[in-house]
Structure 1
């Protein structure tokens, strides 16, 4: 089972990652990609989950973002990460910003956000 959503900002992305971290769900990995106009979150489960839980997850994600139809570039990047390629190689090859991949890591998103804001000197809306 897989969930692929686009979110408007870092705060919403953190909420999603924390949701999957704290609910004992069988998460195989979560990939977080930062883009100019928002964030892409890909959640892959280790195993199937009950239909009711799936509906709850989709309702939660639907309140925070929209289902994402990836571009060919993002699709290839996600496939490469799932195949085991390193995050750095995927970022170099596909020119995408992979903030986190693997176990849910809210800290990585927060560190990325703070470093990016510090470098810019202001906080763009997508990093709020």
Structure 2
């Protein structure tokens, strides 16, 4: 099952990864993180369906951090391309998106992106806070 959400900033994205780690879901899911000018698109895809209780808890947690996101066709194609094991770099070039992370949820990808982006700008935009 896929959960796709729009989050306002990097800190919220990092909280999702920490939640997955805390709940021992990290090895049972993959996560795709896309940075956009106005926020972050996060897709969490579980290998096995969650129990109704787990599903409710996870949705409640995600709804506190962001809003459910219905991806436009371009983002749907990004997800499909990544699911079919196409190169992340090729997908970014083809669809003109910034894929920050894809695969096992890892905070270091988001933190490295945030550091490199802010170093290039000289300041920290709100979405990277």
Is the pair's TM-score, using the shorter chain for normalization, greater than 0.5? yes
Q: CA RMSD in A?
A: 1.0
Q: Deviations over 1:59-107 (max 9, x none)?
A: 0000000000111111100110011111101001100000000001110
Residue 3 of structure 1 aligns with which residue?
Answer: 3
Residue 19 of structure 1 aligns with which residue?
Answer: 19
Residue 102 of structure 2 aligns with which residue?
Answer: 101
Segments of 4+ moved more than 4 angstroms: none
Residue 87 of structure 2 aligns with which residue?
Answer: 86
Give the count of matched residue pairs: 128
Secondary structure of 2:70's aligned partner: coil
The TM-score with structure 1 as length reference comes to 0.96
> Offset of 1:19 from its aligned partner?
1.3
